[in-house]
Structure 1
Amino acid sequence: MPEPAWRVALLEDDARTRRFFEDCVRAHPQLLLEASFETLAEARAWFAEHTADVLLTDLALPDGHGITLMRELAERQPACEVLVVSVFGDEDSVLACVEAGAVGYIHKDSRPDDVAQVILDVKHGASPISPMIARKLLERLRRRAADPAPAPAASLAHGVVLSPRESEVLELISRGYAYAEIARLTGVTMHTVQTHIKNLYAKLAVHSRSEAVFEASRMGLLSSMKPGA
């Protein structure tokens, strides 16, 4: 008797990327595209009445952050496996999602066959994460074992969770550094900095640097250092 197809839901705001993943799922006989969403609100409304075997979700969305839905599914539909749709250089955000319940991630520039295979691997118990993220998880476990009260992996305030790298970028923004300077200071590319900025804006529900600093300060997400310090 043939194995039933795995029901897949997709949350991705970029139309081109969303169509790519939709086509990847539809092309494989063991996968079934159950639903596809552009916004967090659409996905949350759908999952309130339906279920899926796996969710592919982007992180920075027009109306929120993918980790919000991940937490809801972990509580209400724990059988739904979550894979983060990520970009290269976004390891800290992926790490925060793994700690929140994601089983792994898929890069946005993966090949169609790779996308289907990753989903099927998850179906059979695998957790697709890179050696870099696996190493960070091990390091964090070691720190927790050595320290009975370790510092949290991400800042939590008003339901907002920031990865360590996002917190670092936020601090540099608050001090007035330009994006190019942030890239140099953190040792990442401008593209990666822009990705972190996009994630920050989505999580804080803002549209500018000044709004981000104001909201982060109001939520207690910034250190005691003043801008320009």
Structure 2
Amino acid sequence: MTDSGTTSGLAPHQVLLVEDDPPIRERLAIALEAKGDCIVSAAASLAEARTFLAQRRYDLIVSDLRLPDGLAIELLAEARECQPEVEILVISVLGDETTILAAIAAGASGYLLKDALPEDIHATAIEVLSGGSPISPSIARFIVRRARQEGGSPPTVPGRDAPRLTPRELDILWGIAKGLTYNEIADQLDLSRNTVPSYIKAIYRKLQVETRGEAVYEAVQYGLIQL
């Protein structure tokens, strides 16, 4: 592939794609490399992925959860330990709901469904590489359901110990819960697209979380939002 990153003075992102289904793997690789800013190494199993990780450092891992030789949860945790700077984007099917929270705990920064459009796949990967934590709306709903099952229905008003979020931060938190992209949140709230990440960082800091999924979970627990 042509190193188009040299035109901007930046090297392309090194991406490790872990997916066992050949047609899906090819579609994801094409989507990730479409803009010329990512170079993809493709693995069809956990064993292949571990071989790649032993040979090279990666900026991003895009991984399915269910592989022929097991679940990717341990692989993701291992990758985080040996390459702490690597970002992780889990891309799977809704049937994998039971492993979503485990993937987040293992270090996943984002969670995307396999049926996403190619442009959304690339945009989501770049968002994760830029420090974002995108998550599909259906996954956000699952996390909310899990929170209710574990802790009962959220209170109707914020509890006394709830972090103090500004009205604007609460608006943006709603956007996060709905699975909107940063740009969609900015457009919906008539904000500059450059300011949304700053608001989200403030929200994460107040909630003491690092990902969208965790933010939604904590916000529901505190009664800050109800979905």
Range into which the TM-score falls when normalised by the shorter chain: 0.5 to 0.7
Residue in 2 aligned with 1:182?
A: none
Unpaired runs of 5+ residues, structure 1, are 146-229
Match of 2:30 among 23, 29, 44: 23
Shift in Å, 1:132: 5.3
Residue in 1 aligned with 2:134?
A: 128
The structure-2 alpha-carbon separation of the partners of 1:143 and 1:94, relative to structure 1 and needing over 3 Å to count, comes to closer
Does the 8 Å CA contact 1:53/1:80 hold for their aligned counterparts? yes
Match of 2:112 among 106, 110, 120: 106
Shift in Å, 1:24: 0.8
Residue in 1 aligned with 2:68?
A: 62
Residue in 1 aligned with 2:15?
A: 8
Mapped partners of 2:20, 2:38: distance in 1: 21
Residue by residue over 1:120-158, the C-alpha shift from the partner in whole angstroms, topping out at 9 and shown as x without a partner, is: 11111110113554466578889999xxxxxxxxxxxxx
Unpaired runs of 5+ residues, structure 2, are 1-7, 152-227
Match of 1:87 among 90, 93, 96: 93
Identity of aligned residues (%): 40
Mapped partners of 1:91, 1:11: distance in 2: 19
TM-score by length of 1: 0.56
- Residue 51 (str. 1) matches residue 60 (str. 2): no
Mapped partners of 1:88, 1:136: distance in 2: 9
Mapped partners of 2:28, 2:38: distance in 1: 12
Corresponding residue SS for 1:48:
helix
Match of 2:39 among 29, 32, 35: 32
Residue in 1 aligned with 2:48?
A: 42
Mapped partners of 2:131, 2:81: distance in 1: 20
Matched AA of 1:18? R
Matched AA of 2:89? L
Does the 8 Å CA contact 2:97/2:142 hold for their aligned counterparts? no
Matched AA of 2:122? A
Mapped partners of 1:96, 1:133: distance in 2: 13
Count how many residue pairs are aligned between Structure 1 and Structure 2: 145
Matched AA of 2:108? A
Match of 1:119 among 99, 103, 125: 125
* Greater Cα offset, 101-110 or 127-136: 127-136
Does the 8 Å CA contact 2:63/2:91 hold for their aligned counterparts? yes
Mapped partners of 1:17, 1:143: distance in 2: 33
The structure-2 alpha-carbon separation of the partners of 1:17 and 1:131, relative to structure 1 and needing over 3 Å to count, comes to closer
Mapped partners of 1:117, 1:76: distance in 2: 26
TM-score by length of 2: 0.57
Corresponding residue SS for 1:17:
helix
Residue by residue over 1:165-208, the C-alpha shift from the partner in whole angstroms, topping out at 9 and shown as x without a partner, is: xxxxxxxxxxxxxxxxxxxxxxxxxxxxxxxxxxxxxxxxxxxx
